[in-house]
Homo-oligomer: A and B are copies of this chain.
């Protein structure tokens, strides 16, 4: 089933200057000249959103979220109008649409609204007249008619949602990297770009610190089975990374990538009385402050007391510590301490489901490198370890080598060079 429509999303670094906008226009025109219907979603020009936000923060300590949305949405309106003008300038008819005009209806949660519906009638009509549709990303409109925005990275979500609504074949996300890598190429020089990643793997990767795609956008794509291709705006030859459903015809590589996150901190509450309800008491207080806790360890009880450690994102550390110091006194804990000198390394792979022993190989590898594991958590397709921050690079490189991620995996029913397996 092919709809002949492709959705292409270009990020802020792809439309940061007039030359870059011209370059994007050329790529869009090329797709249209090849006979495709094209709907483009653009972010604000690089730096624009931050500039607007900075002005707002200078004018008020706590700017109204509704007004922030009106303010920030201007950035994408400007870039969409400019791209449409550039397309016209090249003889490629185009129409720019705002969030409201593309029918992107959201709830009322300003600055991080959720999409409720897409009424894409106007976009459909315009595509029928052989015009390119250029949509302002990141923005929608609530039932009251006020502008809302979808939060950071929201343009990716706009693009996937429009691709779903218009039944596109694929949603292409153009960015300043060639795709999804087996590890951060700045840390692991022989990191390899992946041709194919499953939705589930990408969800794990996005939540583990891979910045190439926002987790909400991947969730959306997974829910509606819309394949995403992440590829470079600047390198036309590279086919990028395709993110889609697991292909049952194809043997999965056991491990797809190694991720790391240095922005992790650990809080330890020592000498807590080992009584029912104490842990609930502690973690409820954090939940009420909307602080997400990642891993939790509770030691085996000794003499009626126990220690509880948990990790969280470092941005929440200060607030969490002030809560925990209060709670610590309340539950008569011996001490409350924080440690930001940690990082989380994670190994992700859909093939873990059918291959045992991956965790053991990870622990052996780290042991061989004399890296101590402080905490462990696992999912069906992921193993994460907390280690000391200084060992991050060493651990990532060792694991990347152990699982031979620099080598193309052997696959059964597809040639190894095929970047876009059938779905």
Q: Is the CB of A101 within 8 A of B61?
A: no
The verdict on A61 contacting B89 (CB below 8 Å), with A70-B80, A74-B78, A96-B70 known, is yes
Q: A100 an interface residue at 8 Å Cβ cutoff?
A: yes
The verdict on A82 contacting B96 (CB below 8 Å), with A74-B74, A101-B145 known, is no
A84 vs B146: C-alpha distance when bound (angstroms): 15
Q: Is the CB of B85 within 8 A of A64?
A: yes
Q: Is the CB of B71 within 8 A of A74?
A: no
Q: Is the CB of A82 within 8 A of B56?
A: yes
Q: Which of B52, B70, B85, B96 contacts A59 (CB 8 A)?
A: B85
Q: Is the CB of B55 within 8 A of A82?
A: yes
Q: Is the CB of A60 within 8 A of B74?
A: no
Q: Is the CB of A64 within 8 A of B88?
A: yes
Q: A148 an interface residue at 8 Å Cβ cutoff?
A: no
Q: Which of B55, B67, B74, B88 contacts A63 (CB 8 A)?
A: B88
Q: Which of B60, B73, B145 contacts A86 (CB 8 A)?
A: B60
Q: Is the CB of B64 within 8 A of A71?
A: no
Q: A98 an interface residue at 8 Å Cβ cutoff?
A: yes
Q: Is the CB of B84 within 8 A of A67?
A: yes
Residues of B contacting A86 with CB < 8 Å?
59-60
A70 vs B96: C-alpha distance when bound (angstroms): 8
0/1 interface trace, chain A 166-198, chain B, CB 8 Å (1 if under): 000000000000000000000000000000000
Residue of B at shortest CB range from A136? Answer: B70
A159 vs B226: C-alpha distance when bound (angstroms): 47
A316 vs B70: C-alpha distance when bound (angstroms): 40
A96 vs B73: C-alpha distance when bound (angstroms): 13
Residue of B at shortest CB range from A134? Answer: B67
0/1 interface trace, chain A 73-110, chain B, CB 8 Å (1 if under): 11001101110111011000001101011000000000
0/1 interface trace, chain A 277-313, chain B, CB 8 Å (1 if under): 0000000000000000000000000000000000000
The verdict on A89 contacting B101 (CB below 8 Å), with A74-B77, A81-B67 known, is no
Residues of B contacting A82 with CB < 8 Å?
55-56, 59, 71
Closest Cβ–Cβ distance, residue A268 to chain B (whole Å): 40
Chain B CB within 10 Å, residue with most, of A64, A70, A100, A101? A70
Q: A128 an interface residue at 8 Å Cβ cutoff?
A: no
Q: Is the CB of A70 within 8 A of B81?
A: yes
A101 vs B67: C-alpha distance when bound (angstroms): 13
Q: Which of B56, B89, B98 contacts A70 (CB 8 A)?
A: B98
| Chain A interface residues (CB < 8 Å from chain B) | 18, 21-22, 52, 55-56, 58-61, 63-64, 66-68, 70-71, 73-74, 77-78, 80-82, 84-86, 88-89, 95-96, 98, 100-101, 145-147
Closest 3 pairs between A and B when the two form their complex, measured CB to CB: A60-B89, A71-B81, A74-B74
A-B contact pairs, 9 of them (CB 8 A): A55-B82, A56-B81, A64-B84, A68-B85, A70-B80, A71-B77, A71-B82, A73-B77, A100-B100
Known: A18-B59, A74-B77. 9 other contacts (CB 8 A): A18-B55, A56-B82, A59-B85, A64-B85, A64-B88, A66-B95, A70-B80, A77-B77, A100-B100
